[in-house]
Structure 1
Amino acid sequence: MSDEKPGVPLLTEQEAHRQLRRAVIASTIGTTIEWYDFFLYSIVTGLVFAKLYFPESDPLVGTLQAFLIYAVGFIARPVGAAIFGHYGDRVGRKATLIVTLLLMGLATFAVGFVPTYASIGIWGAVILTVLRFIQGVGVGGEWGGSVLMSMEWARTNKHRGFVASWPQFGVPAGLFVSNLVVLAVSQISGSSFITWGWRVPFFLSIILVAIGLYIRLSILETPIFAKLLAEHKIEKAPTMEVIHRQPKDILLSACARMVEQAPFYIFTAFVFAYGVKTLGASRDLMLTAVLAAAVLEFFTIPLFGHVSDLIGRKRMYMIGAACAGVFGFIFFAMIDTRNPALIFAAIVLSLVPHSMLYGPQAALIAESFTGRLRYSGASLGYQLASVIAGGPAPLIATALFAYYHTGYAIAAYIFVCGVVSLVAAWRMGDYTNKDISREYDDARSLGDSGHAPRHA
């Protein structure tokens, strides 16, 4: 007689391994597509949006206005985390991920059709703002599901950091593809890039969405969620429940991300405005450097995810926070030389400290929340950082440079973020190699003590 529970299929080791591989591929390709969409907007913001949608403003003011629309996507991300975290813990990881992919992809596709200021005045910027908000909502719900889809299929606790790092791989992959497409289109369209060439990468996103949708429809729900469903442990209002039960974990997760978020968007989005307009560097040099940095992260993100399985999630993350906090000074010392080789090297190296954080980060945050609240809690903690760090970073960097006229002021801001993240990571629990398949408030979970280590 089978001991299989309703809704929890018993798979052979080979079948389970196949599902893990599919889940990792689906999550990674899906996040690549969604981050392609998100980064594409970031790149074009720094290159053309100020000219097309705020042509009557002073160049610096126009850049600030363009980055304000850019920041709207980050403000929307916690909204997406709350909405899709709820459904991810109620309906399932798979269905929620399909919806977020469609939402993000269609909004990005629509950006390519938005008329400029010359055609409809300020309404162009208004439409961009709405579409950017929709993009942010989609990304806000995407991350938690992608990480859980991979992590909850892991067959052993000893490799969870490595497995969970693969959806993170979608960030440099999306960054690479978006920069590559913009670089290619700018070569093809030449001087017409400002008038029509920038729209082409947005149109291409619909092809990527179709590919991602096909892949995500082929995977099964995760064993952990299927078990929760079979045991009737689904919360009616998971988002509110996790805010009530684990508010500290949400806040610590958000603060731990500050030194990962702020420098990343300074080094990959603000750098286009700073390098091209302030330093006089070529657009192609900046795009190529970010491409090379993204390629490097293809290897370093899973590497540091693996290292976190060996030395502990918290330890790896704290080392990364310390490195990222001080690298801002090195970055601006190199880039301010205006030497193309040093500018290139600075941008490439800037994502190494980011990888030290981003590799172990998925498991560090997701493991902090009990299974039935994990999608909501991890998504809220992760995306709250978008409001306090990621979105404001290019704006703060632009304002600091306008006031102090030196990149070292921006480096000081990055250092402060590093201190905050270091303290927050130190206060987080460490669940490296612990069993996360049981609920944390189950007396049998995570060992004989009956309690998860809160601040190990």
Structure 2
Amino acid sequence: MSHPDSAGTPAPARVAAAGLIGTTIEWYDFFIYALAATVVFGPQFFPSDSSVASDLAALSTFAIGFVARPVGGALLGHFGDRLGRKRMLVLSLLVMGVGTAFIGLLPTYATIGVAAPIALVVIRVAQGLAVGGEWGGATLLALEHARTRAQRTLLSSLPQIGLPLGVVLSSLVFLVVRLGTGDAGFAGWGWRVPFLASAVLVVVGLVIRLKLGESPEFERVRRQHTVRRAPLADVLRAPRIWVPACGITIGSSTLGNLLLAFVLSYAAGARLFSASTMLTVTVVAALLWAVALPLAALLGGRVGRKRVLVAGTVATVVWAYPYFALVESGSPVGLVAGTIVAALCIAVTTGPYGAYLSEAFPAEIRYSGASVAYGIGGVLGGAAAPIVATLLVASTGGLGAVGGYVALASLVSLVAVLTLRSPHAVTTAEPVVPLADPVQDGV
């Protein structure tokens, strides 16, 4: 267990840092798949005479991971609200890591035929389930160890940084392997190396997470015997909270997944920039994203979470069209500038997001509520984004319509931010009913 502070409980910063390391590993696994889907999985697992059809099939498996996220959020959220945050975090990391390593060993379509894409889809569903419970657990463990409102805003943002850091780590590994093996070697076997490397990272992450203490707020819920039997049902009884909660992240998720997955494929296919150039730009943008995210959280702790969220969402609406215009211009300077500003928009939008969303739900149902809302927002935003963008480009011949699509998604998020009340003291129609110990009662 992490060393206690003077109050006898684990130091909040250490818990948040451990959450950051764990989420970085999980998002590394998740985005290794995104990178492979755009440059490898089409021809390897979904061969077709049409490159567009092949790319759409590969991107669809990427989307399946997002579709599984709210299911994973509901499943792990249920047990997280019943048995504790820590156990679910260990489970989610284990499932994600094992699934990623299996992809590195998976035979392609040329070897085992249709069984290859089927197995890929099954593994991707498992990964989606794991990530669905990861974000909520890591965010809540950091949030619920903090002691002040400002500290809760900042520390709950640290697991969020795992996303851009996971992008950096996955992009660097992909870039190094690609340059080291050459195009032929990378297509033949090199692409498997980043997936197999996940096994080492998972061992490190598991050691760290097993040393964490349980959330003080969850322990309080257990002591007061207010653990809910069906936390998700209690969440669904409050549509005034979970409906806008689902919409907050749609805009940033849409832009983020286009930046990380779709633009790489589009720019390389249109011969605007090489895949290596796009990966390099993505790494730089993600690093700035990681730096700006906690700064946005600090600002949210000072001036208000909602104000920062509104500012970031409005900036995303404004920058949506210019970003894609700069990508399409073919100018390296335009590409770098456009991508950096887009990444900063995402950082500002997501900095205070974890605390703002989580505190809309009471501790008794917080894991379920936050995880499901986050997962549904990811489906409506991130899952659909690469597919919709591919179809828009195929029908219009350019990225202009994609910019409009991102702006529209961000407007939906703006309405959600303005609608959701957080913190919100009451989220269920019925009072919390005392229950016996959940371990003895069963789940």
- Shared fold (TM-score, shorter chain, > 0.5): yes
Q: 2:243 aligns with which of 251, 269, 282?
A: 251
Question: Which string of whole-angstrom CA distances, capped at 9 and with x for unpartnered residues, describes residues 223-278 of structure 1?
Answer: 1000000110101111122112x223211111111111101101110011111001
Contact 2:137 2:367 in 1 (8 A): yes
Q: 1:95 aligns with which of 87, 90, 107?
A: 87
Structure 1 unmatched runs, 5+? 1-10, 443-456
1:192-231 equivalent positions in 2, closer than 5 A: 192-231=185-224
Moved more, 108-117 or 139-148: 108-117
Q: 1:364 aligns with which of 356, 360, 370?
A: 356
Q: Percent identity?
A: 36
Partners of 1:243 and 1:155 lie apart in 2 by 29
- AA aligned opposite 1:375: Y
Question: Which string of whole-angstrom CA distances, capped at 9 and with x for unpartnered residues, describes residues 52-111 of structure 1?
Answer: 112223011111111111111011001100100000000000111101110111111101
1:186-197 equivalent positions in 2, closer than 5 A: 186-191=178-183, 192-197=185-190
Partners of 1:388 and 1:248 lie apart in 2 by 18
**TM-score w.r.t. length of structure 1:** 0.91
Q: Is 1:430 aligned to residue 418 of structure 2? A: no
Query: Does the residue aligned with 1:352 lie in a helix, a strand or coil?
Result: helix
Partners of 2:250 and 2:177 lie apart in 1 by 33
**TM-score w.r.t. length of structure 2:** 0.93
Partners of 2:214 and 2:34 lie apart in 1 by 33
1:125-136 equivalent positions in 2, closer than 5 A: 125-136=117-128
Partners of 1:160 and 1:232 lie apart in 2 by 25
Specify the alignment match of 1:294 in structure 2. Answer: 286
Q: CA deviation at 1:440?
A: 6.8
- AA aligned opposite 1:22: R
- AA aligned opposite 1:377: G
- AA aligned opposite 2:34: S
Partners of 1:290 and 1:357 lie apart in 2 by 18
Q: CA deviation at 1:23?
A: 0.9
Specify the alignment match of 1:451 in structure 2. Answer: none
Contact 1:258 1:421 in 2 (8 A): yes
What root-mean-square deviation, in Å, do the aligned CA atoms of Structure 1 and Structure 2 show? 1.9
Q: 1:19 aligns with which of 11, 20, 31?
A: 11
Specify the alignment match of 2:259 in structure 1. Answer: 267
Structure 2 unmatched runs, 5+? 430-443
Partners of 2:5 and 2:43 lie apart in 1 by 58
Specify the alignment match of 1:383 in structure 2. Answer: 375
> Structure 1 residues 440 and 82 mapped into 2: Cα distance closer, same or farther (>3 Å)?
closer
Partners of 1:135 and 1:158 lie apart in 2 by 33
Partners of 2:49 and 2:146 lie apart in 1 by 52
Partners of 2:142 and 2:320 lie apart in 1 by 32
Partners of 1:310 and 1:207 lie apart in 2 by 39
- AA aligned opposite 1:198: W
Question: Which string of whole-angstrom CA distances, capped at 9 and with x for unpartnered residues, describes residues 165-192 of structure 1?
Answer: 1010100110100000000111111121
Contact 1:279 1:336 in 2 (8 A): no
Query: Does the residue aligned with 1:155 lie in a helix, a strand or coil?
Result: coil
1:27-426 equivalent positions in 2, closer than 5 A: 27-191=19-183, 192-244=185-237, 246-426=238-418
Q: CA deviation at 1:384?
A: 0.5
Contact 2:235 2:428 in 1 (8 A): no
Question: Which string of whole-angstrom CA distances, capped at 9 and with x for unpartnered residues, describes residues 6-46 of structure 1?
Answer: xxxxx763544x53122111110010000000010001100
